[in-house]
Structure 1
Amino acid sequence: MSTIQLASGIAVVNILLLGLLTTVWVRNYRKFRTSLLLGLVAFGSVMLAENVVAIYFFFSMKMLYSGDPTVQQAVLVLRGLQLVAIAFLTWVTMK
């Protein structure tokens, strides 16, 4: 499995977790109407869009990433760090 395929897989997991989080935050915003929840909905929506765009670029512009192994590793590390952050946020939100 290539580095970019792994990064794409992580982005898909990020999309699933962000979809879950954003759904919870929208439901809570409808109930409580607080600006904090509205901010979380906006955050989740932007991060969802960013991950969807990343998946698009991974598959449509492979040459952009495949030319340099260092760039591929950096993309993988950044996706991994984002996954860790989103996983913590999911864990806290679901508690």
Structure 2
Amino acid sequence: MAFWMSSAVGLAVVNLFLLAVLGAVWLRNYRTFRTNLLLGLLLFAGVLAMENLVAIGAYLSTEMVYAGGTRAMYAVVGLRAMQFLALSFLTVVTLFPSGSIFRSVRERASGERS
């Protein structure tokens, strides 16, 4: 069970890092463009970061709650993993808006086939 608890906390920490990267980009863009969409994205990142901080605190302070519930811990880790995937996709499209990261992967794949 310690492995799953550590996995949940680790994923929450990685999610916080991704949110910090996204928040920095969105804040820079908000200062430039002043659009409501970017303000909404900043608020989204802030709320999700708070949720991850609370989750880390809950995992560390209520470890006994999860000790008896293997299914509950699997569900928590699964939810953190899905959040990680969603934030990863959002980070990629935010940092590479033109799709350059995908083009380079496609070019390498097509070059290897020839």
Q: Same fold (TM over 0.5)?
A: yes
Report how far residue 67 of structure 1 moved.
1.9
**Residue 16 of structure 2 aligns with which residue?**
15
2:106 corresponding residue in structure 1? none
Q: Distance in 2 between matches of 1:71 and 1:42?
A: 29
Query: What is the CA deviation profile of residues 44-87 of structure 1, one whole-angstrom value per residue up to 9, with x for unaligned ones?
Result: 00010000111111111111222200000000000000000000
Aligned-residue offset at 1:27: 1.0
- What is the 5 A alignment of 1:62-73? 62-73=63-74
Give the alignment's Cα RMSD to 1 decimal.
0.8
Tell me what 2:42 maps to.
41
Structure 2 alignment gaps of length 5 or more:
97-114
Amino acid at match of 2:33: F
Answer yes or no: is 1:89 the counterpart of 2:90: yes
Q: TM-score, normalised by structure 1?
A: 0.96
Q: Structure 1 stretches (4+) deviating beyond 2 angstroms?
A: none
Letter in 2 for 1:78: L
CA–CA distance in 1 between the matches of 2:58 and 2:50?
Answer: 12
Residue 29 in structure 1 maps to residue 33 in structure 2: no
Unaligned runs of 5+ in 1: none
Q: Distance in 1 between matches of 2:92 and 2:22?
A: 10
Give the structure with higher Rg (CA): 2
TM-score, normalization by structure 2 = 0.81
1:52 lines up with 2:53 in the alignment: yes
Q: What is the alpha-carbon distance in structure 1 between the residues aligned to residue 62 and residue 14 of structure 2?
A: 21
Secondary structure in 2 aligned to 1:2? helix
Q: How many correspondences in the alignment?
A: 95
